[in-house]
Structure 1
Amino acid sequence: MMTAETSTVPKRDRLHIMVASALEASILSGELKIGDKLDSESAIAKEFGVSTRAVREAIHTLETKGLLLRRHGERTTVVRGDVNEFLDTLAVTVRQRLAAEPEYLQQLMVARRMIETEILEIVCASDAPIAPAVKDNLDRMRRARDETDFSGFVEADAAFHLAIVHSAGNRILSIIYDNFASLISEVIQVTSRVPTKSLDEAYDEHAAIYQMISDHNEIGAKALVRAQIDNSANYLRIAIEKASKGGKT
C-alpha cells in the first residue's frame, strides 16, 4: 500500500511538466511571441503555485525543444521559429568545448558525416540540376590546384561541401550546417595537411563526388563522401595526437 508520503512524489515530479506544457501552449498559440521575455522564475513559480526549481526544470525542457533561450544574467527569451539564434548559441557551446577538449573535434566529424551523407539522399533524388555553386567551387578547386594555392583550395573545398548541403533545399539542415561551417573549415585546414595529400588527389576526389551526384548515384556519392570524411577524421586524430605531444600540426 502506498503511503501518503510516497504518493505525493509523482505529483511533485509532474509539476515542472505542468508548467512546461502551459508555457509551450502559450508559445505555440502566439500568446507568447518570438522575442518576448518570460517573467522571473519566482513570478512564474508564484503564478503556478510551484517551486522555482520546478520552473527552472520546465524552462530547461523548453530550451531543449528550441522554444526558449536562457542567457546568464538575462530573462529567458522566446525563440520559437528563430532556429538560427538557437543553433548559433549551440555553435558557441561547441567552440567552448573544443577549447577545453580537442577530442571534441572528432565528434564534430561524426555530425558532419551524418549531415553530408544523408543530405545526398535529397540531392540525388531531385530532378532539378545540381546547384551551380557546387560546380563553381569545384572549378575554384581546380584553379587552386593548378596554381598550387593550398589556402585557396581549402576554402573552395569547404565551400563545395557547403553548397551541396544548401542545394538540398532543406532550410533546417542548411542552418545547422551553416552554424558549424567555420568549424568544419578549420578542421579541413588541419586535416588537409596531415598527412600531406596532393592537390591533384584531393581534386579528383571532389570531382568524382560531383559526377556521382550529377548521375543521381546516391549510393556511390554517399560512399565517396563517407570515405572522404572518415579519412579526414583519421587525419584529425593524428593531428590531435601530435599536438598533445607538443608537435606541430
Structure 2
Amino acid sequence: MPRSLIIGGFILSAAGSAWAQNTQSSTHAALREWVRTEKSISDEAADWQAEQAVLEDMITVLEMESAQMAEQMAAVEATIADSTAKTEALARREQALRNDLKELSQVMTTWETQAQAMVASWPDPLKIQFKNYPTLQRKVTNDSAWLGRAQRWIELFREADQFNREVTVFVNTAELDGGESWQVSEIYYGLAGGFWTSADGSQGGLLTPSADGWKRTHDSVSADMAEEMIAIAYSRRPSVHVEAPVTVD
C-alpha cells in the first residue's frame, strides 16, 4: 500500500511538472506575441504620426495655395468686372458718337448744298482754291467722313474770308467778243467787285458778282481804270486816288 502511494505521488508530481512546463511555454509564446503585437502597433503608430505630419504639412500648403488662388481669382474677377464696365462705357460712347455723326451728317448735307451754291457764285481765283480740296469734290459715303469734310470746308471758307479782305490781281483766260479766248488781267476788291482788261489794253470793263458767277461787262472807261489799278498793284505806278467800282453801305 505505501509503495502504491509513492508511485501515485510520483506520477502526480511528474504530471504537475509537465503541466507547469507546458503552461510556461504557452505564457512565453503569448508574451512574445504580445511584444510583437505591441511593437507592430508602436511601429504603425510611429508611421501614422509621420504620415499625419506629412498630411498636415500638405494640408497647410494646400490651404496657402488655395488662399492665393482665391486672391488671384478675386483679382481676375475684379479685372473682368472693370473690363466689362469699361467695355460697356466704350460701347455707350461709341453709340453716342454714332448718333452725333448721324446728326452732323443730316446738318452738313443741308449746309453743303448751300455752301456749293456759294462756291458757284465765287470769282475764278476762289473757284481754283476750291479745286485744291479734292475731298470736297467727292460724294460722302459714310457719316464719319463728315468729320474731315467739315474741316476742309472751314479751311476753304477761311481762304474766302481772307480773299474778301484783300485786293487780288489775277491773270485769267476769257472768251471776249467774237468768241476768241483772250488773256485778261483782273483785279478784285474782295468779293465786292473788280475790273478787268485784256493783255493789249484794247478791251476792259467791270467785274460784278452774281448768284451763278461773276459777270464781265465792257466799258472803255473802266478798262483804262483797270489798267491803272493793276499797274499800281504791281507797283509799276505810284498810288493815286481812284473811285472804287462799287459802293459799300
TM-score (norm 2): 0.25
Relative CO higher for 1 or 2, CA cutoff 8 Å, sep ≥ 6? 1
TM-score (norm 1): 0.25
- Which protein has the bigger helix share? 1
- Which protein has the bigger strand share? 2
Which structure is larger by alpha-carbon Rg, 1 or 2?
A: 2
